[in-house]
Structure 1
Amino acid sequence: MALEMRVLQADEWDALYDHLELAFGGAIDPTETRELFRSLTEVERSLAVWDGQSCVGSASAFSFRLSVPGGPPVPAAGVTMVGVAPTHRRQGILSSLMRRQLDDVRAGGEPLAVLTASEPAIYGRFGYGIAAHELSLDIDTDRAGLSVPPGTDALRLRIVDPAKALGDCERVYAELVDRRPGMPARQPGWERLPLLDPEADRAGASRLMCVVAERPDGEVAGYARYRVKPDWDAAGAPRGTVTVRALDALDPAAAAALWRYLFGIDLTSTLRAGRRPVDDPVLHLLGDARRARPSTADSLHVRLVDLPAALAARGYGAPLDVVLEVEDAFCPWNAGRWRLVSAGPGGAVSCVRTEDPADLALTARELGAAYLGGVALTSLAGAGLVRELRTGALAAASRAFAGDVAPWLPHGF
């Protein structure tokens, strides 16, 4: 029987989700998780491949607005729910889904597509570059030490119900979106994701808890969501673990107050925090950073769908006039020479086709990797992925593309 690709119908959602659970190993998601993603799914943006009555392939997208360097959030397709049944691998299903999806994203006027990858090697051939990484910390709080900046003691900490504090926490998050590239501006419904707390996911730890940091006038300047898992060693000494789900703060004092609180929770000696920005300031508060056992992994992958619109939508940290020779086999409308001109921070930006000689040669994947300012063009050139065709062009472009802070994706999708 021939395979059929079509837009998902609302009453087919369960079949798609069942297929995804099988494609990702067969584990069954908690009911709360399943129902949340049912409510968030944009059915009209969901593609499914069918073999008779069986869903054997899928790809969906969320309508995001993503923060970028020096500009307002940019429309982006948040690619999600991508999977192929183990019985139907190596039949071109994934390539067909990616082809149709990127065509649809382009037709919808979104300059970018973004995703997180279960296997990072998969998506480079479709033009996605790794644009943001994430930091994981496993801190020995008994030995790491923590110093705090002036003003920390002025903050009042208050333990609150996570749901009751949601409005204050969302206001903090919304203010941070414009400060750091890679953050999705929360669309309606997505505020429920940080509160998702199925008991099956706790691994013996407590329910999700929340602490807020308030300024003297009562304004919430930061919050942390966390769990605590008690434990004792063979001698009876407490060795509990604090697992941080999120910590967002508007200023250094609020952030330090929250970290100090988490370090000091009774009967614990380990603090674990994943999905943190790679330049997280907490690393500079530690007396012994080695006790944090930091590690990094890829996070947000970026694909320029409409190259000139995407490059013109972000700001640049220095004046720039460069001609890019771009190779893009999967989205050939992006291929060719483009003149990118910026007056520098806050200045006008243009990106237009040109026949002028190229200054740099690269693929769309490398542009995606550099787009959020966290991956240097000079680093990519060191790997042989960007070629300098005019002396000095590489350094100038790398300076202009660089961001002031590392890009960061605070939650998955």
Structure 2
Amino acid sequence: MDLEMRVLQQAEWDVWFDHLELAFGGVAEPPEGRTLFRALTEPDRALGVWQGETCVGSAAAFSFRLSVPGGALVPTAAVSFVGVAPTHRRRGVLGSLMRRQLDDVRAAGEPLAVLTASDPAIYGRFGYGLASYSMSLEIDTTRVRLEVPPGTDEVRLRLADPEESLAACERVYAGLVTRRPGAPARQPGWERMAVTDPPGERGGASPLMCVVAERADGEVAGYARYRVKPDWNASGSDGTVLVEVLDALDPAATAALWRYLFSIDLTWTVRAAKRPVDDPLLHLVSDVRRSKPATRDSLHVRLVDLPAALEARSYGSAVDVVVEVEDAFCPWNEGRWRLVADADGTARCTRTADPADLELSVRELGSAYLGGITLASLAAAGRVRELRPGTLAQASRAFAGDVAPWLPHGF
């Protein structure tokens, strides 16, 4: 095939994005979303594969800074807009895009690449490992009560316009980013994703609403954005609250916001998606089972510069371990590496000729990187091999985090 891969030109964006819509089933993005995606696209980080004037493959990256264990914000390529035309699948187009993209990420000096996968079976062969999960809940508020902490009644709630309250809500989000590995520091323009509200995408629910939680001094300590989907049956009202996001800086604000969402008139169900798997809400509800928690894969992590990535995060305990890493797709990462982390979390990662203690692929390192998936659990599946007794437990404890990693929004 006469195919050409090249960096996207601004004048080609519409054709390029039309291809992406076709690759994902042919449903057009609403005009509001399309306009925002055009503004967020970094053309010099967007690739297209062309056959004449037809785009048959695409991949892009956004310049993010990702929170990692210890609170550092690490330069990261957030991979998105990946698609191959139905007529050109299984012909090496995706592989060539991944090859070029990871080479570019390395040249840019970004230690990490991350993505959310429409098909999670695809990306393991390119070295991406599943590193975090998200949780959804469907809570029967007729049977589930909240047990709130002291101070909840002192939180003042007020309804706010989602647009007008955006700056205050973004300050709350910014205050939370370094507390949770896997969360991106929001780049300019990305705050618009949370309040873009195409009428055709509401599915019979209300326009986007916002409630903010304020301390006594008027400072915003949390917020929730949600919709109400009215419904009726023979017994009367049967509405649902659809929670888009809830962020809060302290337990009282968290509880006050959930209590409000549980008590909206004419609704008897609260549905929330994309929550952390260790959400405090699980400890506030009286009946977890009737809250129907369910998990699914979320962020997939790829170490592009292995030593830089491992030195960028901190560790929960001191560790001195030699790992033999397999990485056929990015061979500069292959070989034997000595990771030494002090009790304060400071780490050094250097090449070594010493005998290996553990053997694994870069995919497993990506899975364990954010601290939510343990090396011990990967070893139990046969994906990490202990070569010197005792080193697996030591390394697994060091990599594990205090809170579950979480990606609060897509890209």
* 1:324 counterpart residue number: 323
* 1:367 counterpart residue number: 365
* 1:43 counterpart residue number: 43
**Aligned AA (2:341):** S
Deviation at 1:251, TM superposition (A): 0.5
**Given the alignment of the two structures, is residue 105 of structure 1 paired with residue 96 of structure 2, yes or no?**
no
**Given the alignment of the two structures, is residue 13 of structure 1 paired with residue 25 of structure 2, yes or no?**
no
**Aligned AA (1:307):** L
* 1:341 counterpart residue number: 340
Deviation at 1:233, TM superposition (A): 1.4
User: SS at the partner of 2:100?
Assistant: helix
CA distance in 1 between counterparts of 2:86 and 2:346 reads 49
Deviation at 1:146, TM superposition (A): 1.1
* 1:352 counterpart residue number: 350
The answer on whether the counterparts of 1:111 and 1:306 sit within 8 Å (CA) in structure 2 is: yes
* 1:391 counterpart residue number: 389
CA distance in 2 between counterparts of 1:366 and 1:248 reads 30
CA distance in 2 between counterparts of 1:34 and 1:71 reads 33
CA distance in 2 between counterparts of 1:89 and 1:178 reads 39
Deviation at 1:144, TM superposition (A): 1.4
CA distance in 1 between counterparts of 2:4 and 2:345 reads 48
CA distance in 1 between counterparts of 2:300 and 2:114 reads 5
The answer on whether the counterparts of 2:59 and 2:79 sit within 8 Å (CA) in structure 1 is: yes
User: SS at the partner of 2:35?
Assistant: helix
Within a 5 Å distance, the mapping from 1:87-166 to structure 2 comes to 87-166=87-166
Deviation at 1:145, TM superposition (A): 1.3
CA distance in 2 between counterparts of 1:272 and 1:85 reads 35
CA distance in 2 between counterparts of 1:16 and 1:115 reads 20
User: SS at the partner of 1:78?
Assistant: strand
User: SS at the partner of 1:162?
Assistant: coil
CA distance in 1 between counterparts of 2:36 and 2:61 reads 15
CA distance in 1 between counterparts of 2:393 and 2:238 reads 49
**Aligned AA (1:33):** G
CA distance in 2 between counterparts of 1:333 and 1:363 reads 13
CA distance in 2 between counterparts of 1:348 and 1:85 reads 46
CA distance in 1 between counterparts of 2:350 and 2:242 reads 48
CA distance in 2 between counterparts of 1:347 and 1:133 reads 25
CA distance in 2 between counterparts of 1:57 and 1:296 reads 31
**Given the alignment of the two structures, is residue 60 of structure 1 paired with residue 60 of structure 2, yes or no?**
yes
* 1:273 counterpart residue number: 272
CA shift digits 1:123-160 (9 cap, x unpaired)? 00000000010000011111111110110000000000
- Give the RMSD, CA atoms, in angstroms: 0.7
Deviation at 1:71, TM superposition (A): 3.8
Deviation at 1:42, TM superposition (A): 0.1
* 2:288 counterpart residue number: 289
Deviation at 1:118, TM superposition (A): 0.2
CA distance in 1 between counterparts of 2:117 and 2:301 reads 11
Moved over 4 A (4+): none
Deviation at 1:412, TM superposition (A): 0.3
CA distance in 2 between counterparts of 1:160 and 1:61 reads 33
The answer on whether the counterparts of 2:317 and 2:345 sit within 8 Å (CA) in structure 1 is: no
**Aligned AA (2:261):** L
Deviation at 1:348, TM superposition (A): 2.3
CA distance in 2 between counterparts of 1:175 and 1:348 reads 23
**Aligned AA (2:358):** L
The answer on whether the counterparts of 1:7 and 1:45 sit within 8 Å (CA) in structure 2 is: yes
The answer on whether the counterparts of 2:316 and 2:345 sit within 8 Å (CA) in structure 1 is: no
Deviation at 1:222, TM superposition (A): 0.3
CA distance in 1 between counterparts of 2:233 and 2:335 reads 63
User: SS at the partner of 1:270?
Assistant: strand
User: SS at the partner of 1:340?
Assistant: strand
**Aligned AA (1:193):** M
CA distance in 1 between counterparts of 2:260 and 2:193 reads 24
Deviation at 1:22, TM superposition (A): 0.3
* 1:410 counterpart residue number: 408
- More off after superposition, 55-64 vs 140-149: 140-149
Deviation at 1:72, TM superposition (A): 1.3
Deviation at 1:347, TM superposition (A): 3.7
The answer on whether the counterparts of 1:71 and 1:313 sit within 8 Å (CA) in structure 2 is: no
CA distance in 2 between counterparts of 1:145 and 1:284 reads 11
User: SS at the partner of 2:242?
Assistant: strand
CA distance in 2 between counterparts of 1:19 and 1:314 reads 38
User: SS at the partner of 1:178?
Assistant: helix
Residue identity (%) = 72
User: SS at the partner of 1:48?
Assistant: strand
CA distance in 2 between counterparts of 1:299 and 1:64 reads 17
CA distance in 2 between counterparts of 1:196 and 1:125 reads 35
The answer on whether the counterparts of 2:214 and 2:222 sit within 8 Å (CA) in structure 1 is: yes
* 2:309 counterpart residue number: 310
May I ask how many residue pairs the two structures share in their alignment?
411
CA shift digits 1:158-198 (9 cap, x unpaired)? 00001111111000000100100000001111111111111
User: SS at the partner of 1:17?
Assistant: helix
* 1:298 counterpart residue number: 297
CA distance in 2 between counterparts of 1:347 and 1:302 reads 21
Give the gaps of 5 or more residues in structure 1.
none
User: SS at the partner of 1:87?
Assistant: helix
CA shift digits 1:354-402 (9 cap, x unpaired)? 0000000000000000000000000000000000011110000000000
**Aligned AA (2:61):** A
Give the gaps of 5 or more residues in structure 2.
none
CA distance in 1 between counterparts of 2:314 and 2:58 reads 35
**Aligned AA (1:114):** V
